[in-house]
Structure 1
Amino acid sequence: MKRILTNVNTFARRRQSLHIANLRPLSLTNHPRTIPISTITQNLHTASSKQNATPTATPQDVGPSSSSNPQMAFPCLDALETRTSNLLNNSTPVKKFSSGSGPEPSYTSGPHQSFHCPTPLHLDWGGTLSAYTIAYETWGTLNSNASNAILLHTGLSASSHAHSTPSNPSVGWWEKFIGPGKALDTNKYFVICTNVIGGCYGSTGPSSIDPSTTTTSTSNNGGKGEPYATKFPIVTLEDMVRAQFTLLDHLGIQKLFASVGSSMGGMQSLAAGVLYPERVGRVVSISGCARSHPYSIAMRFVQRQVLMSDPNWSRGHYYSSIPPHIGMKLAREIATVTYRSGPEWEQRFGRLRADSTKPPALCPDFKIETYLDHAGEKWCLEYDANSLLYISKAMDLFDLSEGVQKDARVRRESYTLRRGGDIDEGGQCTLTLPDEAYEEQEQEQEEQAPSSSSSSSSHRQPPRDLIAGLSPLKDHKVLVIGVASDILFPAWQQREIVDALKEGGNENITHVELGEDISLFGHDTFLLDTVNVGGVVGEFLKE
Structure 2
Amino acid sequence: MANTQLSAVNDTAAIGELTLESGKELKDVDIAYQRIGAANAPAIFVCHALTGNHYTLNSEMGEGWWAGLLGNGQYIDLEKYQVITSNVLGGCDGSTGPLSVNPVTGSPYGAEFPLITIRDMVQAQKKLLDVLGLGRLEAVIGGSLGGMQVLEWGLMYPDFMERLIPIAVTPLLSDYAIGFNAAGRTAILSDPLWNNGQYGKESTPRKGLGIARMIGMLTYRSGALFNHRFQRKQTENWETIHENAAFSVESYLQYQANKLADRFDANSYLTLLKAMDTHDIGRERGGVVAASQSYKAQMLCVGFTGDLLYPSDLMEQFVKDVQAANKRAKYLEVSTMFGHDGFLTEFDKWGNLLKEFMRETIKT
Fold shared per TM-score above 0.5 = yes
d(CA) in 1 for partners of 2:187, 2:207: 9
Structure 2 gap ranges (5+): 1-7
Match of 2:306 in 1: 485
2:218 counterpart letter in structure 1: V
Q: 1:113 aligns with which of 1, 8, 11?
A: 11
TM-score (norm 2): 0.93
Q: 1:338 aligns with which of 216, 219, 227?
A: 219
Asked whether the 8 Å contact 2:15–2:131 carries over to 1, the reply is no
Structure 1 residue 320: Cα displacement: 5.6
Match of 2:5 in 1: none
Q: 1:205 aligns with which of 85, 97, 101?
A: 97
d(CA) in 1 for partners of 2:101, 2:108: 4
Structure 1 residue 360: Cα displacement: 4.7
Structure 1 residue 534: Cα displacement: 2.1
Match of 2:328 in 1: 508
Question: Is the strand fraction higher in 1 or 2?
Answer: 2
- Aligned-pair Cα RMSD in Å: 1.8
Residue correspondence of structure 1 range 257-276 to structure 2 within 5 A: 257-276=138-157
Match of 1:255 in 2: 136
Structure 1 residue 497: Cα displacement: 2.0
d(CA) in 2 for partners of 1:317, 1:111: 33
Structure 1 residue 195: Cα displacement: 0.2
Cα pair distance change 1:189/1:287, threshold 3 Å? same
d(CA) in 1 for partners of 2:22, 2:279: 12
Q: Deviations over 1:408-436 (max 9, x none)?
A: xxxxxxxxxxxxxxxxxxxxxxxxxxxxx
Match of 1:133 in 2: 30
Q: 1:196 aligns with which of 72, 80, 88?
A: 88
2:147 is equivalent to residue 327 of structure 1: no
Q: Deviations over 1:447-482 (max 9, x none)?
A: xxxxxxxxxxxxxxxxx7212113331x32100111
2:4 is equivalent to residue 187 of structure 1: no
2:283 is equivalent to residue 466 of structure 1: no
Q: 2:179 aligns with which of 272, 295, 298?
A: 298
Match of 1:154 in 2: 48
d(CA) in 2 for partners of 1:360, 1:324: 26
Larger Rg: 1
Cα pair distance change 1:313/1:496, threshold 3 Å? farther
Structure 1 residue 499: Cα displacement: 2.4
Asked whether the 8 Å contact 1:134–1:196 carries over to 2, the reply is yes
Residue correspondence of structure 1 range 418-457 to structure 2 within 5 A: none
Structure 1 residue 126: Cα displacement: 2.0
d(CA) in 1 for partners of 2:230, 2:201: 40
Count of aligned pairs: 352
2:312 counterpart letter in structure 1: A
d(CA) in 1 for partners of 2:210, 2:309: 19
Asked whether the 8 Å contact 1:198–1:387 carries over to 2, the reply is yes
Q: Deviations over 1:360-406 (max 9, x none)?
A: 533321111111111102211310000000001100111110xx245
Asked whether the 8 Å contact 1:338–1:523 carries over to 2, the reply is yes
d(CA) in 1 for partners of 2:305, 2:190: 34
d(CA) in 2 for partners of 1:204, 1:405: 27
2:248 is equivalent to residue 359 of structure 1: no
Match of 1:172 in 2: 64
When structure 1 is superposed on structure 2, of 266-275 and 313-322 the one drifting more is 313-322
Match of 1:533 in 2: 350
Structure 1 residue 248: Cα displacement: 0.8
Structure 1 residue 527: Cα displacement: 0.7
d(CA) in 1 for partners of 2:174, 2:357: 28
d(CA) in 1 for partners of 2:9, 2:319: 38
- Percent identity over the alignment? 35
2:259 is equivalent to residue 378 of structure 1: yes
d(CA) in 2 for partners of 1:304, 1:111: 34
SS of 2:209's equivalent in the other structure is helix
Cα pair distance change 1:323/1:526, threshold 3 Å? same
Asked whether the 8 Å contact 1:289–1:497 carries over to 2, the reply is yes
Structure 1 gap ranges (5+): 1-109, 214-224, 407-463
Structure 1 residue 359: Cα displacement: 2.2
SS of 2:213's equivalent in the other structure is helix
Asked whether the 8 Å contact 2:91–2:268 carries over to 1, the reply is yes
Structure 1 residue 352: Cα displacement: 1.5
d(CA) in 1 for partners of 2:326, 2:312: 20
Structure 1 residue 263: Cα displacement: 0.9
Match of 1:497 in 2: 318
Asked whether the 8 Å contact 2:170–2:311 carries over to 1, the reply is no
d(CA) in 2 for partners of 1:171, 1:251: 25
d(CA) in 2 for partners of 1:235, 1:316: 17
Asked whether the 8 Å contact 1:323–1:381 carries over to 2, the reply is no
Match of 1:236 in 2: 117
d(CA) in 1 for partners of 2:149, 2:350: 18
Moved >6 Å (runs of 4+): none
Q: 1:312 aligns with which of 193, 203, 212?
A: 193
Cα pair distance change 1:150/1:342, threshold 3 Å? same
Cα pair distance change 1:307/1:497, threshold 3 Å? same
1:472 counterpart letter in structure 2: S
SS of 1:533's equivalent in the other structure is helix
SS of 1:338's equivalent in the other structure is helix
d(CA) in 2 for partners of 1:134, 1:494: 30
d(CA) in 2 for partners of 1:210, 1:271: 27
